[in-house]
């Protein structure tokens, strides 16, 4: 852990990737590392605790709400909207007021959306990973700039999920669980697997159980743990193997790339760090094989650009590669 963390505010700690992995995604390795760091710096415990509290408030879980409770909620809201004399109140710190206001807005918007369409849409913003728990306790970890959509009212009888982006699924046993993407679909009954579906690339990795993968125009393929199947638009689908126990992936902060054009690699960097990268057409067409860590932006760019004999310059959220 960096010594400079002792000067960080709770808000700054929340932006540290290893802190998020430890206290939001409960990664055991990062959790142990942060616990050791906190033990060595007990004077920082108040900041760490506040940062943990803020992260817990950012974790989104949906709960079943009866129509009776919804009606009562709206009645209370309408009653409190009536004009009343304004009494003096103590001043609340701006950041807490903003968090409370944003939470109320999100809750009201979500309730209206569910009432109108019965559909849930969960999105992870650029630069963030989001864990979402489904009504049957299945869990989805969304990679940066990804989205899932499903019909909550029908979910227990029809476990259909639409994915745009990348996500890791841990599915409880039950009715068939289907993941639809624009590039292919996956059907399982209870297992864990990862799906990448964007930029004309479709890739599925099976970690436990069995996964049935369907690609338009191809026969269905059944994957078992350690098997991987996918394709790039315009190329033939192919199978590969991997070690589901030892191989690290984006959930542990490591991105592996196998013969991808740099335009796709830079697009992933943009999603992971919420930045914009400018590069020439010839640079984007170069193909890259390797890996990089998600701990620091400059380190990730170095691992990509150095072997390709490229230079990069970071100016805030704008990056130039040449």
Q: pLDDT of 128-168, one tens digit each?
A: 999 999 999 999 999 999 999 999 888 888 999 999 999 99
Q: 111 CB contacts (<8 Å, ≥6 apart)?
A: 65, 70, 73
> What domain range is 99 assigned to?
92-117
Task: Note whether 104 and 47 are same-domain residues.
Answer: no
Task: Note whether 132 and 213 are same-domain residues.
Answer: yes
Domain stop point among 217, 241, 265: 241
> Mean pLDDT highest for which of 79-83, 151-155, 248-252, 267-271?
267-271
pTM above 0.75, yes or no: no
The pLDDT > 70 percentage for the chain reads 79
Task: Note whether 264 and 234 are same-domain residues.
Answer: no
With CA atoms as reference, report the closest residue to 198 among 137, 141, 134, 268.
Answer: 268
Phi, psi of 321 (to 5 degrees): -120, 130
CATH code at position 147:
2.60.120.1440
Residues 186, 178: contact at Cβ < 8 Å? yes
Domain stop point among 241, 271, 294: 241
CA atoms within 13 A on the CB side of 300: 24
Distance CA(297)–CA(59), nearest Å, equals 24
The reply to whether 85 falls in a domain is no
Q: Is 178 helix (H, G, I), strand (E, B) or coil?
A: strand
Does residue 123 have a pLDDT over 90? yes
The reply to whether 81 falls in a domain is no
Please give the helix or strand (H or E) that residue 29 lies within, else none.
helix 28-40
The reply to whether 248 falls in a domain is no
N residues, the chain: 322
Residues 199, 264: contact at Cβ < 8 Å? yes
């Amino acid at each position: 852990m960096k010594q400079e963390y002792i000067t960080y505010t709770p808000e700054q700690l929340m932006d540290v990737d290893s802190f998020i992995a430890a206290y939001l995604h409960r990664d055991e390795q990062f959790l142990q590392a942060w616990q050791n760091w906190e033990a060595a710096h007990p004077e920082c415990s108040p900041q760490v605790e506040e940062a943990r509290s803020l992260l817990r408030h950012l974790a989104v879980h949906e709960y079943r709400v009866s129509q009776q409770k919804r009606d009562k909620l709206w009645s209370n809201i309408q009653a409190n909207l009536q004009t009343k004399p304004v009494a003096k109140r103590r001043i609340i710190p701006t950041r807490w007021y903003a968090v409370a206001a944003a939470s109320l807005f999100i809750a009201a918007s979500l309730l209206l959306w569910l009432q109108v369409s019965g559909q849930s849409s969960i999105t992870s913003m650029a630069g963030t990973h989001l864990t979402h728990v489904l009504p049957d306790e299945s869990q989805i970890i969304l990679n940066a700039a990804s989205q899932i959509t499903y019909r909550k009212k029908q979910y227990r009888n029809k476990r259909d999920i639409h994915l745009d982006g990348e996500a890791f699924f841990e599915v409880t046993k039950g009715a068939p669980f289907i993941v639809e993407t624009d590039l292919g679909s996956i059907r399982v009954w209870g297992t864990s697997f990862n799906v990448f579906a964007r930029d004309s690339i479709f890739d599925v990795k099976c970690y436990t159980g069995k996964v049935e993968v369907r690609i338009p125009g191809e026969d269905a393929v059944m994957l078992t743990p350690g098997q991987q199947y996918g394709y790039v638009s315009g190329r033939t689908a192919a199978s590969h193997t991997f070690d589901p126990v030892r191989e690290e992936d984006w959930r542990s902060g490591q991105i592996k790339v196998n013969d991808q054009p740099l335009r796709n690699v830079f697009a992933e960097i943009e999603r992971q760090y919420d930045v914009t990268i400018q590069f020439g057409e010839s640079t984007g067409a170069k193909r890259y094989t390797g890996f990089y860590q998600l701990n620091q932006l400059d380190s990730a760019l170095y691992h990509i650009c150095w072997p390709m004999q490229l230079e990069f310059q970071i100016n805030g959220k704008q990056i130039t590669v040449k």
